[in-house]
Structure 1
Amino acid sequence: MDGEKTGLKKVIIIILFIALLVVTFLIIKPFISAILIAAVLAYMLHPLHKRLSRWIKNRNLSAALITFIFIAVLATIFWLIAQITIKEAFNLYLSIQKLDIFTGLNSLLSKLFINAPEISRQITIALQQTVSQAINGFMIQAGQVITNAPTLFLQIFVAFFVTFYFLRDGEKIVKFVKEMLPFDEEVSQKFLKRSDDIANATIYGQIVVGLIQGATAGIGFYIFGAPSPLFFSVLAIFLSVLPFIGPSIVWVPVSLIMMLSGNFANGLYLFLFGMIVVSWIDNVVKPFIVGRRANINPIIALIGMLGGLALIGPIGLVAGPLILEYLLMLLQFHKKGKIAI
């Protein structure tokens, strides 16, 4: 009889635990992206917080100070860039309709002994439509951001609020996670170490190097007189974090449009700048920043980042590869007999 009561109590506890997990998930579901963003920000800001903690012993004050400074810097940069970028995008949309690519393209084909005005006209229309659609899509996204401003501000508030607590209690959280992992000490240690390596490679290797590539492409836009340089710089920076895509999807068509619209020399210089400088940053800067801590398979990186982006938004660029690597890690541990699945 006592055994039946004990078994019944265990069943009730399990049901209660599962119910609480489900309800908790439903409660935090609207803020999962914000929490993941907070985790990434806390990871990136942790080295600064650790240094500041040597001077400011109060963990609340040091975490709050780091978070506030980051918010102030980010908000200022975003506000300045957003104002100019939206204005440039609108002006570019108007000017692209008047751009005489046809004459330049026809002249170029004539130099190649090809007299094909119809080909020139079709290519011109295709280029104008492609650029116009890209700019129009950007303007639509900007409008949606403004429309969803209240929800966006709430998500941002939660993200920075949670970032503060992650910075303050990061060591306690890591210790708690380690204790909760259903593995022995050796596997738990390897799991956390690999997690740190993957996060480092994803954040600093893919994103930071991508931002550097995009910013370098932006410098090229300014130096060689590309139209609406800030708009294309922001676009290049955003696309640079995606593996296999990068800023070339921006600087190649921009340089071609410049060459075909009468600015052949600067367009050619921009193309060479992209080929020589921008494209090689990945091979020079990435090993320097990441070192040999973790090499993520490019296929895992691509599928993880694009799938994560589609599933949970921008934070999926980090979370996607991380989740796929976790699965591979568990399978490797199982293969080596470290865990049973």
Structure 2
Amino acid sequence: MPPSRTTTLAVVLAVLLVAAALLLGAVFGTVFFAVTVAYLLVPIHRRVQRLGLPPWWSSATTAALASLAVFVPVATGIYVLTERADRLLDALEGLPESLTLAFYEYTYTIEVGIVTDAALSYLTAFAVEVAVALPELALKLTLFGMLVFGLLLAHEDAERALLATIPATYHDIARSLSDRAGATLYAIYVLQAVTALATAVIALPVFFALGVPYPVTLAALAGLLQFIPIVGPSLVVGAVALYWASIGDVTGAILVIVVAGVLVAWLPDVVVRPRLSRRTADLPGSLYFVGFTGGLLTVGPIGIIAGPLIVALVVEAASLLADEHRGTQVSLLPEEWP
């Protein structure tokens, strides 16, 4: 019996998607980013439509807001990097080659020079890469905005087309996976972004009060590092404490670890994150870290989103399979025991 037209068209679509991913590999990350953002923006797009705007204008408004939300942090990061790069390099070059820590009769020497040289070479190469990639980055941001606009404008047709390829008896599975994907994307984008913003806002006055050099830059960096699971802003706190210790200010280093460690590295996760976590996928931190690290190492920056997303979908599929198996076992039990 030949396959149905729906099955044939689904196979054709899958083959064309694979071919497009191979042929458009240079912009695959931008396309993936735009798809996930548009998926997350669909509820906002519907709210904008309820204000009375036509579909075209509501899609354009939502896409413009999303593009602005991406452009502002990227532009700010590039500006801070170019404005403070020389001072940051001078500060790194001024660090001693080694640092000796003494505790009673025990001493331990830390080779700071090795870390400093690696950081200097990395920052220099990164600054050059950013400068060279600026025209390409501007083109990708434009492509991102256009894709989000198009996806929002046609998302209902796309949903109907995808559901048409799935038998009706499996629509509940597709809906469960869709809900899990939406909750995971919410956790990655919204939850992490708000927590990162809160971290930067808290870190700025704390760093000013502690006399930390370059407080604005380090506060922004602390917020950015919220996207890295488990370690996060503690990297900035540890680096500042190490810097104070390297110049002989042990008291300042301890103060930074205690005050900034509590207010910057710990407080946002305790205060902000729980208030926004009701709509998240409730993915354990260890699995999120596996997805984040594995995705980043495997496919590059896009893996920051793709890694946790695929892990969350695997967890959801395993949960659905367990529920199905449990339901099958219950249905096989006799109605009445003798």
- Please state which band the TM-score falls in when normalised by the shorter chain: 0.7 to 0.9
The aligned counterpart of 1:54 is 50
CA 1:309–1:47 in structure 2 vs 1: closer, same or farther (change >3 Å)?
same
CA 1:27–1:191 in structure 2 vs 1: closer, same or farther (change >3 Å)?
same
CA 1:31–1:180 in structure 2 vs 1: closer, same or farther (change >3 Å)?
farther
The aligned counterpart of 1:138 is 123
Runs of 4+ in 1 over 6 A off after TM superposition: 9-18
Query: Which amino acid is 2:260 matched to?
Result: G
The aligned counterpart of 2:317 is 330
**Does the CA contact (< 8 Å) of 1:101 and 1:260 recur in 2?**
no
Query: Which amino acid is 2:256 matched to?
Result: L
Within a 5 Å distance, the mapping from 1:1-341 to structure 2 comes to 20-72=16-68, 74-99=70-95, 109=102, 122-123=109-110, 126-181=111-166, 184-261=170-247, 263=249, 266-278=252-264, 279-291=266-278, 293-337=280-324
Q: Structure 2: any 5+ residue segments left out of the alignment?
A: 328-338
**Does the CA contact (< 8 Å) of 1:225 and 1:266 recur in 2?**
no
**Does the CA contact (< 8 Å) of 1:201 and 1:296 recur in 2?**
no
Q: Which piece of structure 1 moves more, 42-51 or 283-292?
A: 42-51
CA 1:78–1:286 in structure 2 vs 1: closer, same or farther (change >3 Å)?
same
| Cα distance in 2 between the residues matched to 1:228 and 1:335 | 52
Query: Which amino acid is 1:84 matched to?
Result: V
Q: Once the two structures are superposed, what CA deviation does each residue of 1:11-46 show, in whole Å capped at 9, x if it has no partner?
A: 998996775454333334332211121123324544
| Cα distance in 1 between the residues matched to 2:237 and 2:230 | 15
Query: Which amino acid is 1:288 matched to?
Result: R
CA 1:261–1:37 in structure 2 vs 1: closer, same or farther (change >3 Å)?
same
**Does the CA contact (< 8 Å) of 1:89 and 1:231 recur in 2?**
no
Shift of 1:288: 0.5
| Cα distance in 1 between the residues matched to 2:36 and 2:143 | 14
CA 1:294–1:72 in structure 2 vs 1: closer, same or farther (change >3 Å)?
closer
Aligned residues: 324
Structure 1 length normalisation: TM-score? Answer: 0.78
Identity over aligned residues, as a percent?
22
Q: Once the two structures are superposed, what CA deviation does each residue of 1:182-209 show, in whole Å capped at 9, x if it has no partner?
A: 5523323322222222222333344542
CA 1:181–1:263 in structure 2 vs 1: closer, same or farther (change >3 Å)?
farther
| Cα distance in 2 between the residues matched to 1:70 and 1:243 | 24
CA 1:215–1:304 in structure 2 vs 1: closer, same or farther (change >3 Å)?
farther
Query: Which amino acid is 1:146 matched to?
Result: A
| Cα distance in 1 between the residues matched to 2:76 and 2:173 | 47
Query: Which amino acid is 2:22 matched to?
Result: L
Q: Secondary structure in 2 aligned to 1:184?
A: helix
Q: Once the two structures are superposed, what CA deviation does each residue of 1:100-148 show, in whole Å capped at 9, x if it has no partner?
A: 698xx77x85xx66697xx6xx43xx23442453243133122112223
Q: Once the two structures are superposed, what CA deviation does each residue of 1:251-300 show, in whole Å capped at 9, x if it has no partner?
A: 12202322442555554433222232221321222110112642102222
| Cα distance in 1 between the residues matched to 2:6 and 2:261 | 65
Structure 2 length normalisation: TM-score? Answer: 0.78
CA 1:281–1:50 in structure 2 vs 1: closer, same or farther (change >3 Å)?
same
| Cα distance in 2 between the residues matched to 1:67 and 1:75 | 12
Query: Which amino acid is 2:307 matched to?
Result: G
CA 1:329–1:255 in structure 2 vs 1: closer, same or farther (change >3 Å)?
same
CA 1:101–1:22 in structure 2 vs 1: closer, same or farther (change >3 Å)?
closer
Q: Structure 1: any 5+ residue segments left out of the alignment?
A: none
CA 1:57–1:322 in structure 2 vs 1: closer, same or farther (change >3 Å)?
same
Q: Which piece of structure 1 moves more, 245-254 or 223-232?
A: 223-232
**Does the CA contact (< 8 Å) of 1:206 and 1:243 recur in 2?**
no
Aligned Cα RMSD in Å?
3.6
| Cα distance in 2 between the residues matched to 1:163 and 1:99 | 46
CA 1:48–1:186 in structure 2 vs 1: closer, same or farther (change >3 Å)?
closer
| Cα distance in 2 between the residues matched to 1:137 and 1:96 | 12
